[in-house]
Structure 1
């Protein structure tokens, strides 16, 4: 399942991770509870990390498992972003921007999960 060229989803996941790291720094500077900021950092950066592992997987089954973890991490990230917004730590504009990117990753990962579970011919 290795691929020498980075896929679109890997590129998007990496860019999202960069945004998450920058948001984490901003949250810490703005005195957001550290535990919440750390949860967001962990789940938001884990999406791309698990995709990298998926790409280096030895089998289709391993690939599908790692993509599944990426999907779960993206959903968890969406939860933390929604919580930060609902508790007024993120402005509407910040939340909308981050959630839009997160939702896109969730949709892409869901589609990859579905296609990776189809039997090969």
Structure 2
């Protein structure tokens, strides 16, 4: 792994961690509105992205790295679905910034997979 790839991973780890923190706050807002089902789904997906990205960083081999990164992408795309639902609802808190942040994470994850393959 070269320096650019390490910098990309470090940046990605920071982004996914920050995203998880933001999702926890957003889910807390939903739970204050008694929207527990959506809030819980967002917590699961939103925190799993960073967890899988972190696991990929310490993968024993390339196969596991790719597998964990692909799992992070799956969680991110599910997350995008849930946030898109929230965005369409006028009675839900605004999540446009979260959607933009997530789109950037998905792009980086996809580039990471392309580079690894």
TM-score relative to the length of structure 2: 0.88
Residue in structure 2 matched with residue 106 of structure 1 by the alignment: 106
Closer/same/farther in 2, CA of residues 89 and 112 from structure 1, 3 Å limit: farther
CA drift at 1:88: 2.6
Instruction: Summarize deviations over 1:31-66 as a string: whole Å, max 9, x none.
Output: 22x111111110011000001110111001100000
Unaligned runs of 5+ in 1: none
User: What is residue 45 of structure 2 aligned with on the other side?
Assistant: 43
- Count of equivalent residues: 111
C-alpha separation between the residues in 2 aligned to 1:96 and 1:86? 10
1:77 aligned residue: 79
Instruction: With the length of structure 1 as denominator, give the TM-score of the two structures.
Output: 0.86
RMSD, aligned α-carbons = 1.5
- After superposition, the C-alpha distances for 1:6-43 in whole angstroms (9 at most, x for unaligned) are 710000000000000011111100222x1111111100
- Moved segments of 4+, more than 4 Å: none
Superposition map of 1:1-121 within 5 A: 7-32=10-35, 34-91=36-93, 94-117=94-117
Which structure has the highest helix share of the two?
2
Cα separation, 2, equivalents of 1:89 and 1:59: 46
